Amino acid sequence: MKKSLCSLLTFSFFLNETQIRQAFSRYGNAVKCKLTTRNYYYNAHVQFSNTSSITQFDDIWVIICLSNSLCICPASYSKTQRDIRREHVAIFAGIPKNIKEADLLKIALHVNAKAINIPLSYNSYKPKPYAYLNFSSFESLKAAKELTIAFRNKGLSWHSPNEAKNLCHVYG
């Protein structure tokens, strides 16, 4: 069964099983979806009717469901394979209020990011003014950080993940 299973990592409580399964139906016959609570977020496992639907998620690291990003990892991946998806990460800050990942997809594609995630505040559950971008290699991360990026005519700044705690939670 693990070969036909996909894991979704931490996404917001705004989504339900039906919405998740519908989002995955674009990629194959999603026959089952199980949500589990983890801290302030859900994790999910989506089962497909056949294993061939899973292989496309070797290259697809995120899908969009109702403007929210769902980070994906085949359940059959080893810890090492899962860790690779979190190895090359950058933050860009300065995002306007109430922006969702779908609003930033063009930028993510432009910088060759494989996944994008805007964290939510634990207190208000509102999006923070920065986004995490995951890259497939150090070279693609380095190339992205050399680009000057703007969103809605406002410049965004690049940061390393360990700088997140120092970013302003209002302005990024």
Give the model confidence (pLDDT) of 30-55 as tens digits.
888 888 887 767 788 888 988 888 98
Residues 131 and 156 in one domain: yes
Query: Of 41, 56, 82, at which residue does a domain stop?
Result: 82
- Domain containing 107 — which CATH number? 3.30.70.330
Query: Of 82, 111, 132, at which residue does a domain stop?
Result: 82
* Domain limits for position 145: 86-166
On whether residue 45 sits in a domain, the answer given is yes
Q: What is the pTM of this model?
A: 0.88
What pLDDT is stored for residue 32 in this prediction?
Answer: 87
**How confident is the prediction for the chain on average, in pLDDT?**
87
For the stretch 36-65, what's the b/e string if a residue is b when 16 or more beta carbons lie within 10 angstroms of its beta carbon? Answer: eeeeeebebbbbbeeeebbeebeeebbbeb
What pLDDT is stored for residue 15 in this prediction?
Answer: 84
Query: Of 82, 113, 136, at which residue does a domain stop?
Result: 82
Predicted confidence (pLDDT) per residue in 108-155, tens digit: 999 999 999 998 887 777 888 999 999 999 999 999 999 999 999 999
What mean pLDDT is predicted for residues 167-171?
A: 65
Which DSSP string corresponds to 12-73? Answer: -TT--HHHHHHHHGGGS-EEEEEEEEETTEEEEEEEESSTHHHHGGGT--EEEETTEEEEEE
Residues 128 and 158 in one domain: yes
Residues 102 and 51 in one domain: no
In this predicted model, which residue has the larger pLDDT, 101 or 125?
101
Q: Is the pLDDT of residue 100 over 60?
A: yes
> 96 φ, ψ to 5°?
-60, 165
Task: Pick the closest to residue 94 from 163, 20, 170 (CA basis).
Answer: 170
Give the confidence band of 8 by pLDDT, cuts at 50, 70, 90. Answer: low
- Cα dihedral 161, 163, 165, 168 in deg (nearest 10): -120
Residues 133 and 106 in one domain: yes
Give the confidence band of 12 by pLDDT, cuts at 50, 70, 90. Answer: low
Q: Is the pLDDT of residue 107 over 90?
A: yes
- As a whole number of angstroms, the distance between CA 120 and CA 51 comes to 33
Task: Pick the closest to residue 113 from 93, 86, 141 (CA basis).
Answer: 141
